[in-house]
Structure formats: C-alpha cells, structure tokens
Amino acid sequence: MTHAPPALTLPGLIHHFAAVAPHREALVSGAVRLSYADLERESAAAAAGLRQLGVSRGDRVGVLMGNRAEWVVAALAALSLGATVVALNTWWTAPEIEYALDHSEACCLVTATRYLRRDYTEEIGRMRQEGRLRALRRVVGVGDGLPADWLAWAALGDADAPPLPEVPQPGDVALLLYTSGSTSRPKAVQLAHGHLVESPWHIGRRQGFTADDRLWLAVSLFWGFGCSNALPAILSHGGCLVLQESFDAAQALQLIEQERCTVVYGTPNMFQALHEHPDRARCDLTSLRTGATLGTPEQLRRVVDLGATRICNVYGMTEIYGNSHATSADDPLELRLVSSGRPLPGVSHRIVDVQSGRDLGPGEVGELRLKGRVMLGYLKDEAQTRAAFDEQGWFRTGDLACVDAHGNLQFRGRLKEMVKTGGINVSPAEIEAVLMAHPDVQQALVTGVPDPVRDEVLGAIVIPRAGKAPSEEALRGFCRQQLAAYKVPSLFRFTTEAALPLTTTGKVQKNRLAQVFFPQRASEGALA
C-alpha cells in the first residue's frame, strides 16, 4: 500500500484483509489469537447478537473494559451495524461513567464485570436499579458472576452468522470520545469513519508500517491515542495488534519479547518504567524498530535506548483524530527529539497571534490552528462546537506552537497556561526551553503561582540530571542571560519525575503544579 488505505471504515478494513490475507494474525490478547478471518467472523457473530438486542444504525453502544480482544470485537460489531461506539474511560468514577452513558443515550453497554479494583456489576447495577440510565436497554457482560438481567458475551450472537454488509459510510460518526477541558463536564467528540482510517494510515506511513509489523499497546483503547490512532494505524496496514490489558512494566517487557513486537505506542511515564525496570537487561527487545510517543528530548531518548531507534514524535488531541502531525522514522534523530514533525497529508496548519489574528512566521510562537481532519463537533453542544472554530473555519487547538522553515511543529504549551505577571503575559514554555538548555537540567516545568502584588509570579519545578545539583542562583543567573527580567522565575523547587502530578494518560497536570510544589503560596492566593 502506497497511495491510500484499502477501505474508509474499520469494518471495511477487516473485510478487505480477511479476503486478501485471511490467515494473517490481526489481534493478540492474552491467550486469544485472531487472524483477520477470525476477527471478521467473530465481529459478524457479535453484530448479529447486537442486532437481535435491537441495536441499529444511528444507535450508540458503550464499551467499558481494559485492553481485551472483546473491546475490539464489540467495537467492530457495533460499527458494522452503523452504530457509534462510546469509548468509556476505565479510570472514571461511577458518576462519570453514569454521565457519559446518560449524555450519549447509549442503548447498549458491553462491559467487563470487573477491571482492576472496580466491580462494574455493582456500579452499573445500582445505576439501573435506581432508574438513572434512561436510554440503556441491555447490558452485555464479559466475565463471570453476571447479574440475572445481563447477557453473557459468550452467548451473544450466532457463530455461523455470515459477514454483514458494510453499513456505515465514511462520513458517519464512528466514535464518541469524551475529553476534559475548561467546561464543567467532559465534551463528547464525534469522529467520522473516513478520517478515523485515513489519518492513522498516514501516521503508520510516517512510521514505516508494513503488514509484518506487530504493535504493542498498553495505552488504553478508550483513549484517542489507542482507538483513533494505534488501532486503525496498524489494522489499515494489515499488521497485528498485541494488547496488554493494563500496563505493568515487567509484563510489558515479556510481552514485547515473546511477541517480537516491532512497534511501541506509549506515554513518557510508561517508557520511563520500562527503561528503569530491572528486567530490561534480561529481555530481548531487538525486534523493536519504531513507534509513536511525545515528550521531552530526554524522554524520547529513553525509547531509543529501549531499541525503538526510529521512534516518531507526534502532536495530537482527541478532536483531530489522534494526531495531526508526526515526524518520519527517516528524519534525523535530532529533529525527532525536539519536533512533532510536519502536518499529515490532508491537514493544513497556521500559527496565529491570538490578539491580532495575524499569521506568524517561522520561529514565532502563537496558537496552532488546523484544517482538514477535524471532528464533526461536540455532541449536544452547538455553542462549544462554534467556539472551537474561528471565523474562517480553522480549529482552535488552544495550544501554543511554532514551526521551523521546513514546516516542522514544536509544541510550546497550552494557551491557557500563559502566566500574567505584573500585567504582562509570559509563556511558560519559553522559560522551560531556556532552563532545559542548562547542562545540569533534565526537565523543567514553569507555572504561575498566586502573588498578592503581581497577580502571579513564575515558579520553576526542576528535575536535575543524574548526579547533578544545580542551585537556584545558578539557574536564575542562567535565565537572566537569555530572558527579560520579568521572565526569570522567582521561585524554584527541585524534584524527581516520579513526584510530578500526572493525568491518567501520563501527561503532566500543569494546573496542579502550583498546588503541589508551592502549596502555601497557592493556598494564600486562593484565600486572597
């Protein structure tokens, strides 16, 4: 494949490869091993069962479980009926799950009975008993100990069901992903079939995917990096997806070795755990070649050290089908360490001065705006959908970035992370870049800390390199050489990566940095 994916829907991809390469392995999940022919057959059987439960075109089907074969089969089954898959976050609390099921009006839920420490039979059962899930008609359970009114996954469908005709069209809604933001409730992002295949297919091309590749995935399938990037990226190239139900570093190292995985998808904290695990030296990871991640140069070097020497740096968010930019595996490592690469084919970008709206040139930092493969909108929220686009139809990412003369993107932080100190707006990313240029600094994060006089002052959280102990005065003097006085941090804290507050997807929670590292100043600001 060199020109276009073989189909523009996920069920269409499986049908294609089941026809041209039926015995090629498509999915590994624990003891389950499915070829493309197996995956099509099991999806058809599950689709027949969902249809018997009343699921039809335009309905929404929730999926709630870890990374299991049933997640993929259930999703393909629902999609082949023309239904939309609601990917439910296993890190959510019961009220958050209830909100998403109610807001999406999911008519059917396919769920594990338990996941890690969670008992979904008790949580979902209580919601239904109290009549709080008005649209939910049926629940299909994966696992033991099912409530009497749940249908067992094993009893769903007809194993002899013929493949269903492909119902969805490229423009139909395939996925509904809930994303956090500035609003009090998560927003429901609607993603269409066609873009859900095209964008990851191009990402796979940037990584050099072939049908022989095997992608290790412990990143949760409910997250966009999983279901709207890794899953369609590998399946659109006819490769194999190797699932790990939940991340454990020792198990991940064994799985990569046993399955001879060539591709890794992960977050910086995952790769740090793999890199530092004592079993790493005893595992054969020589099969690794490429993959996708994001992070600082130091964090990407860890992935290279693991063996994925052609790792690709990416930029993305839920609303843009996982990623809009990716480096190429053929790019020099020096570029891949610091840049998210060029826009994917079919995607246009511009860097805009937020106040004036003018386009900025190479090296100038402004808001990144995109056109091309962008969400269909937020479900039931026309106001937020309108606000997400500017007057010319460009999607407002809310991210600060710049591009070099060749169009390679460099992420520079969130627009809402701008600090106003003494009435002047300051970009934390600019200061972070200066601090990380110091030879004793591995990573630096800058945040606004409440101040009664200046509104906010700049606080720097610094992770020193191994064996180094830079002083506040040394770093402050280093900053003074390169930054205006008002950009030099007033406060410093030295810490470790393990102490950083992270989201469930491994990103630093910048909105919590002041609270965690400057708690007294933060609390005084809250009381002021």
In tens, the pLDDT along 108-152 reads 999 999 999 999 999 999 999 898 898 999 999 999 999 999 999
Question: DSSP assignment of 3-71, as one string?
Answer: SS-S-SSHHHHHHHHHHH-TTSEEEEETTEEEEHHHHHHHHHHHHHHHHHTT--TT-EEEEESSS-HHH
Domains present along the chain, CATH in parentheses: 10-310 (3.40.50.12780), 419-527 (3.30.300.30)
Instruction: Please tell me the least confidently modeled range out of 106-120, 270-284, 497-511.
Output: 497-511
Our CA angle for 378, 382, 388, nearest 5°, is: 65
Give the residue ranges of DSSP H helices in 170-226: 193-207, 224-225
Across 245-269, average pLDDT: 96
Q: What per-residue string of b and e applies to 142-166 under the rule 16 or more CB within 10 Å gives b? A: bbeebeeebbebeebbeeebebbeb
- Rounded average pLDDT over 57-86: 97
Contacts 24+ apart (CB under 8 A), 394-397: 394/350, 394/352, 394/369, 394/370, 395/319, 395/320, 395/369, 395/370, 395/371, 396/367, 396/369, 397/317, 397/320, 397/367, 397/368, 397/369, 397/370
CA distances from 144 to 101, 116, 154, 401 (A): 23, 14, 11, 49
What's the average model confidence in pLDDT over 404-420?
Answer: 88
Distance CA 239, CA 223 (A): 20
What's the CA dihedral at 114, 119, 121, 126 to 10 degrees?
-160
Find, among 124, 107, 127, the residue nearest to 51 by Cα.
107
pLDDT of residue 1: 45
> Binning pLDDT at 50, 70 and 90, where does residue 525 land?
low
In the three-class reduction of DSSP (H, G, I as helix; E, B as strand; rest coil), residue 502 is classed as: strand
Enumerate residues 6+ apart whose C-beta is below 8 A from 147. 121, 125, 139, 141
CB 300 within 8 A of CB 368: no
Mean pLDDT, to the nearest integer, of 296-315? 94
User: What is the average pLDDT across 390-396?
Assistant: 95
Residue 435: how many CB atoms within 10 A of its CB? 24
Angle between helices 10-20 and 36-52 (to 10 degrees): 140
Each residue of 370-387: pLDDT tens digit? 999 999 999 999 999 999
Average pLDDT over residues 26-51: 96
- Rounded distance between C-alpha atoms, residue 219 and residue 270, angstroms: 9
Q: What is the predicted pLDDT for the residue at 293?
A: 94
User: Residue 440: helix, strand or coil by DSSP?
Assistant: coil
Q: Average pLDDT for residues 237-260, to the nearest whole number?
A: 97
Instruction: Supply the mean pLDDT for the chain.
Output: 92
Q: Which of 414, 494, 490, 501 is nearest to 456 (CA)?
A: 490
pLDDT(439) > 60 = yes
To the nearest 5 percent, what fractions of the chain are helix, strand and coil?
35, 25, 40
pTM confidence score: 0.85
Which range has the top average pLDDT, 17-26, 84-93, 184-193, 519-528? 17-26
Cβ–Cβ under 8 Å, residues 101 and 136: yes
